[in-house]
Amino acid sequence: MDETTTEVAASEPVLGAPTFPPGTTLREYETIFALKPELADEAVDRFKERVRSLIHREQGKAIKFTVWGKKKTQYELERQNRATYVHVDYLGQGGLVAEIERNLRMSDDVVRYQTVKLGDEVSADKPVEQDLKLAGDADQPERPPREERERREEFGGDGGGEGEEFESA
Amino acid sequence: MAPYKERANREDVPAAGGRRRGGFGRKKVCRFCADHNLKIDYKEANALKLFVTERAKIIPRRISGNCAKHQREVARAIKRARILALLPFTVAQHS
Protein backbone atom coordinates (compact mmCIF):
# COMPACT_ATOMS: atom_id res chain seq x y z
CA MET A 1 0.00 0.00 0.00
CA ASP A 2 1.40 3.37 -0.90
CA GLU A 3 0.70 6.55 0.98
CA THR A 4 -1.93 8.75 -0.62
CA THR A 5 -2.49 11.66 1.69
CA THR A 6 -6.07 12.61 1.07
CA GLU A 7 -6.89 15.99 2.52
CA VAL A 8 -10.61 15.49 2.75
CA ALA A 9 -10.86 16.70 6.32
CA ALA A 10 -13.19 19.47 7.41
CA SER A 11 -13.76 20.98 3.99
CA GLU A 12 -17.51 20.68 4.54
CA PRO A 13 -17.93 21.94 8.08
CA VAL A 14 -21.29 21.54 9.78
CA LEU A 15 -23.43 20.54 6.88
CA GLY A 16 -26.89 19.56 8.03
CA ALA A 17 -26.13 20.15 11.69
CA PRO A 18 -29.18 20.99 13.77
CA THR A 19 -29.42 24.37 15.45
CA PHE A 20 -30.15 24.66 19.15
CA PRO A 21 -31.90 27.45 21.04
CA PRO A 22 -29.53 29.39 23.30
CA GLY A 23 -28.98 27.84 26.69
CA THR A 24 -29.56 24.27 25.53
CA THR A 25 -27.47 21.68 27.33
CA LEU A 26 -26.72 18.22 26.06
CA ARG A 27 -24.67 15.30 27.24
CA GLU A 28 -21.20 14.83 25.84
CA TYR A 29 -20.08 11.41 24.72
CA GLU A 30 -17.10 9.90 23.01
CA THR A 31 -17.19 6.78 20.94
CA ILE A 32 -14.16 4.91 19.71
CA PHE A 33 -14.62 2.32 17.04
CA ALA A 34 -12.12 0.02 15.40
CA LEU A 35 -12.47 -0.72 11.71
CA LYS A 36 -11.03 -3.59 9.75
CA PRO A 37 -7.43 -2.81 8.73
CA GLU A 38 -7.94 -3.56 5.04
CA LEU A 39 -10.29 -0.59 4.71
CA ALA A 40 -8.74 2.12 2.52
CA ASP A 41 -8.41 5.71 3.70
CA GLU A 42 -11.31 6.81 1.53
CA ALA A 43 -13.54 4.14 2.95
CA VAL A 44 -12.63 5.24 6.47
CA ASP A 45 -13.49 8.82 5.55
CA ARG A 46 -16.77 7.73 4.06
CA PHE A 47 -17.60 5.83 7.22
CA LYS A 48 -16.70 8.87 9.27
CA GLU A 49 -19.08 11.04 7.28
CA ARG A 50 -21.81 8.44 7.68
CA VAL A 51 -21.45 8.64 11.45
CA ARG A 52 -21.42 12.43 11.29
CA SER A 53 -24.67 12.60 9.33
CA LEU A 54 -26.17 10.05 11.70
CA ILE A 55 -25.31 12.25 14.69
CA HIS A 56 -26.86 15.27 13.03
CA ARG A 57 -29.95 13.36 12.01
CA GLU A 58 -30.51 12.34 15.62
CA GLN A 59 -30.35 15.92 16.87
CA GLY A 60 -26.78 15.69 18.11
CA LYS A 61 -23.71 17.75 17.42
CA ALA A 62 -20.47 16.22 16.23
CA ILE A 63 -17.57 18.03 17.91
CA LYS A 64 -14.50 16.28 16.63
CA PHE A 65 -13.41 13.24 14.66
CA THR A 66 -9.93 11.85 15.16
CA VAL A 67 -8.70 9.03 12.99
CA TRP A 68 -5.94 7.37 14.97
CA GLY A 69 -4.77 5.45 11.95
CA LYS A 70 -3.89 1.81 11.71
CA LYS A 71 -2.71 0.52 15.05
CA LYS A 72 -1.51 -2.78 16.35
CA THR A 73 -4.07 -4.39 18.62
CA GLN A 74 -3.05 -6.21 21.79
CA TYR A 75 -5.06 -9.26 20.86
CA GLU A 76 -6.67 -10.52 17.70
CA LEU A 77 -9.85 -8.83 16.55
CA GLU A 78 -11.60 -10.97 13.96
CA ARG A 79 -8.33 -12.83 13.32
CA GLN A 80 -6.38 -9.67 12.61
CA ASN A 81 -3.69 -7.96 14.64
CA ARG A 82 -4.39 -4.48 13.34
CA ALA A 83 -7.30 -2.11 13.25
CA THR A 84 -8.03 1.45 12.19
CA TYR A 85 -9.28 3.39 15.19
CA VAL A 86 -11.63 6.35 14.94
CA HIS A 87 -12.50 8.56 17.90
CA VAL A 88 -15.67 10.68 17.84
CA ASP A 89 -16.53 13.40 20.32
CA TYR A 90 -20.16 14.56 20.18
CA LEU A 91 -23.09 16.04 22.04
CA GLY A 92 -26.51 14.48 22.17
CA GLN A 93 -29.18 12.69 24.13
CA GLY A 94 -29.06 9.11 25.31
CA GLY A 95 -31.09 7.84 22.37
CA LEU A 96 -28.36 8.99 20.03
CA VAL A 97 -25.81 6.65 21.60
CA ALA A 98 -28.16 3.71 21.16
CA GLU A 99 -28.68 4.63 17.52
CA ILE A 100 -24.98 5.02 16.80
CA GLU A 101 -24.12 1.77 18.51
CA ARG A 102 -26.90 -0.02 16.66
CA ASN A 103 -25.42 1.18 13.38
CA LEU A 104 -21.88 0.23 14.36
CA ARG A 105 -23.06 -3.21 15.41
CA MET A 106 -24.73 -3.77 12.06
CA SER A 107 -21.71 -2.77 10.02
CA ASP A 108 -19.37 -5.59 9.00
CA ASP A 109 -16.39 -3.23 8.91
CA VAL A 110 -16.54 -2.41 12.62
CA VAL A 111 -14.71 -4.86 14.85
CA ARG A 112 -15.00 -3.02 18.17
CA TYR A 113 -16.75 0.02 19.60
CA GLN A 114 -17.07 1.65 22.98
CA THR A 115 -18.89 4.76 24.17
CA VAL A 116 -18.06 6.76 27.28
CA LYS A 117 -20.01 9.68 28.72
CA LEU A 118 -17.79 12.71 29.25
CA GLY A 119 -20.16 15.27 30.71
CA ASP A 120 -23.76 15.75 31.70
CA GLU A 121 -24.73 19.32 31.09
CA VAL A 122 -22.58 20.61 28.29
CA SER A 123 -23.67 23.72 26.45
CA ALA A 124 -24.81 23.06 22.90
CA ASP A 125 -22.68 26.03 21.83
CA LYS A 126 -19.51 24.03 22.29
CA PRO A 127 -17.42 24.86 19.22
CA VAL A 128 -16.85 22.25 16.58
CA GLU A 129 -13.20 21.31 16.20
CA GLN A 130 -11.33 20.38 13.11
CA ASP A 131 -10.97 16.72 12.25
CA LEU A 132 -7.61 15.15 12.92
CA LYS A 133 -5.80 12.36 11.22
CA LEU A 134 -2.96 10.63 13.02
CA ALA A 135 -0.39 8.39 11.47
CA GLY A 136 -0.88 5.26 13.55
CA ASP A 137 1.84 2.69 14.07
CA ALA A 138 0.83 0.43 11.26
CA ASP A 139 3.52 -0.57 8.89
CA GLN A 140 6.29 -1.48 11.26
CA PRO A 141 8.00 -4.69 10.28
CA GLU A 142 6.79 -7.75 12.12
CA ARG A 143 9.20 -9.55 14.43
CA PRO A 144 10.70 -12.57 12.72
CA PRO A 145 9.15 -15.88 13.72
CA ARG A 146 10.34 -17.46 16.94
CA GLU A 147 12.55 -20.18 15.49
CA GLU A 148 14.42 -17.67 13.40
CA ARG A 149 15.10 -15.44 16.41
CA GLU A 150 16.43 -18.36 18.39
CA ARG A 151 18.67 -19.45 15.58
CA ARG A 152 20.14 -15.97 15.41
CA GLU A 153 20.80 -15.91 19.14
CA GLU A 154 22.48 -19.29 18.85
CA PHE A 155 25.01 -17.90 16.45
CA GLY A 156 25.76 -15.02 18.79
CA GLY A 157 26.38 -17.11 21.93
CA ASP A 158 29.20 -19.57 22.62
CA GLY A 159 28.68 -23.28 22.08
CA GLY A 160 29.60 -24.21 25.64
CA GLY A 161 30.45 -27.89 25.18
CA GLU A 162 26.96 -29.11 25.95
CA GLY A 163 26.92 -31.17 22.80
CA GLU A 164 29.08 -33.94 24.29
CA GLU A 165 26.31 -35.22 26.50
CA PHE A 166 24.15 -35.86 23.51
CA GLU A 167 26.86 -37.71 21.66
CA SER A 168 27.02 -40.50 24.19
CA ALA A 169 23.28 -41.13 24.02
CA MET B 1 24.04 0.56 63.30
CA ALA B 2 25.15 3.56 61.38
CA PRO B 3 23.40 2.68 58.09
CA TYR B 4 20.11 2.32 59.89
CA LYS B 5 20.36 5.81 61.37
CA GLU B 6 21.25 7.30 58.05
CA ARG B 7 18.22 5.72 56.50
CA ALA B 8 15.91 7.16 59.13
CA ASN B 9 17.27 10.63 58.51
CA ARG B 10 16.90 10.54 54.79
CA GLU B 11 15.18 13.59 53.39
CA ASP B 12 12.82 11.75 51.12
CA VAL B 13 11.23 9.95 54.06
CA PRO B 14 8.31 12.00 55.37
CA ALA B 15 8.64 12.90 59.02
CA ALA B 16 5.29 11.59 60.19
CA GLY B 17 4.12 8.15 59.14
CA GLY B 18 7.22 7.76 57.05
CA ARG B 19 8.23 4.41 58.48
CA ARG B 20 6.09 1.36 58.37
CA ARG B 21 6.39 -2.18 59.61
CA GLY B 22 9.35 -1.53 61.85
CA GLY B 23 11.29 0.75 59.57
CA PHE B 24 11.34 -1.10 56.28
CA GLY B 25 10.50 0.65 53.09
CA ARG B 26 9.27 4.10 52.42
CA LYS B 27 5.76 5.43 52.53
CA LYS B 28 4.39 5.34 49.03
CA VAL B 29 2.60 8.40 47.77
CA CYS B 30 -0.19 8.23 45.24
CA ARG B 31 1.36 9.76 42.16
CA PHE B 32 -1.96 11.18 40.95
CA CYS B 33 -2.51 12.96 44.27
CA ALA B 34 1.04 14.28 44.26
CA ASP B 35 0.76 15.65 40.74
CA HIS B 36 -2.67 16.89 39.77
CA ASN B 37 -1.60 17.40 36.19
CA LEU B 38 -1.39 13.66 35.68
CA LYS B 39 -4.59 12.45 34.10
CA ILE B 40 -5.88 8.91 33.96
CA ASP B 41 -7.10 8.25 30.45
CA TYR B 42 -8.10 4.91 29.01
CA LYS B 43 -6.92 6.07 25.60
CA GLU B 44 -3.32 6.35 26.76
CA ALA B 45 -2.33 2.75 26.87
CA ASN B 46 1.35 3.50 27.32
CA ALA B 47 0.72 5.38 30.55
CA LEU B 48 -1.51 2.60 31.84
CA LYS B 49 1.16 0.00 31.18
CA LEU B 50 2.86 1.24 34.34
CA PHE B 51 0.01 -0.23 36.36
CA VAL B 52 -0.06 -3.60 34.72
CA THR B 53 2.27 -6.56 35.22
CA GLU B 54 4.06 -8.38 32.42
CA ARG B 55 1.23 -10.85 32.49
CA ALA B 56 -1.17 -7.92 32.00
CA LYS B 57 -2.68 -8.14 35.46
CA ILE B 58 -3.60 -4.94 37.26
CA ILE B 59 -1.00 -4.10 39.91
CA PRO B 60 -2.55 -3.91 43.42
CA ARG B 61 -2.39 -0.58 45.16
CA ARG B 62 -0.34 -2.01 47.98
CA ILE B 63 2.42 -2.25 45.39
CA SER B 64 1.71 0.73 43.16
CA GLY B 65 0.99 3.08 46.07
CA ASN B 66 -2.13 4.58 44.52
CA CYS B 67 -4.83 5.90 46.81
CA ALA B 68 -8.18 4.12 46.72
CA LYS B 69 -9.84 6.74 44.55
CA HIS B 70 -7.15 6.78 41.91
CA GLN B 71 -6.71 3.03 41.97
CA ARG B 72 -10.40 2.72 41.08
CA GLU B 73 -9.92 5.15 38.22
CA VAL B 74 -6.81 3.35 36.98
CA ALA B 75 -8.56 -0.02 37.14
CA ARG B 76 -11.54 1.33 35.22
CA ALA B 77 -9.28 2.87 32.58
CA ILE B 78 -7.36 -0.40 32.16
CA LYS B 79 -10.60 -2.33 31.72
CA ARG B 80 -11.84 0.13 29.12
CA ALA B 81 -8.54 -0.02 27.26
CA ARG B 82 -8.74 -3.81 27.25
CA ILE B 83 -12.13 -3.75 25.55
CA LEU B 84 -10.66 -1.70 22.72
CA ALA B 85 -7.64 -4.01 22.49
CA LEU B 86 -5.33 -1.16 23.47
CA LEU B 87 -4.20 -3.33 26.39
CA PRO B 88 -4.18 -7.12 26.58
CA PHE B 89 -6.43 -9.12 28.86
CA THR B 90 -3.68 -11.68 29.26
CA VAL B 91 -0.33 -12.51 27.73
CA ALA B 92 0.31 -15.99 26.44
CA GLN B 93 3.44 -17.50 27.95
CA HIS B 94 5.86 -19.49 25.86
CA SER B 95 6.80 -22.76 27.47
- Give the count of alpha carbons within 13 A of A139, CB side only: 5
Average pLDDT over residues B10-18: 46
Question: How far apart are alpha carbons A45 and A109 in whole angstroms?
Answer: 13
Q: Yes or no: say if A119 and A54 are a contact pair by the CB < 8 Å rule.
A: no
Q: How high is the ipTM of this complex? A: 0.72
Say what the pLDDT of residue A6 is.
45
Mean pLDDT taken over chain B: 82
List the single range of A125-139, A142-156, B45-59 with lowest mean pLDDT.
A142-156
The residues pairing with A84 across neighbouring beta strands, listed in sequence order, are A35, A70
- Cβ <8 Å between B83 and A112: yes
Sequence-distant (≥ 6) Cβ neighbours of residue B11 within 8 angstroms: none
What residues in B contact A75, CB-CB < 8 Å? 85, 88-89
DSSP codes, A53-89? HHHHHTT-EEEEEEEEEEEEEEEEETTEEEEEEEEEE
Residue A69 — φ and ψ, nearest 5°? Answer: 85, -175
pTM above 0.80, yes or no: no
What is the distance, to the nearest Å, from the Cα of residue B55 to the centroid of all Cα atoms in its chain? 16
CB atoms within 10 A of CB A83: 26
Question: How far apart are alpha carbons B18 and B23 in whole angstroms?
Answer: 8
Q: Yes or no: say if B40 and B74 are a contact pair by the CB < 8 Å rule.
A: yes
Q: Which domains does chain A have, with CATH numbers?
A: 5-154 (3.30.70.60)
Mean pLDDT taken over chain A: 82
Q: Is the pLDDT of residue B4 over 60?
A: no
N-terminal to C-terminal alpha carbon distance within chain A:
53
Of B48, B49, B1, give the one whose Cα is nearest residue B23.
Answer: B1
CB atoms within 10 A of CB A85: 23
- What are B60-79's pLDDT values in tens digits? 999 999 999 999 999 999 99
User: Using CB atoms, which residue from B82, B85, B94 is nearest to A77?
Assistant: B85
- Cβ <8 Å between B43 and A87: yes
Residue A145 — φ and ψ, nearest 5°? Answer: -60, 160
Q: Tell me how close the Cα of A75 comes to any Cα of chain B, in angstroms.
A: 6
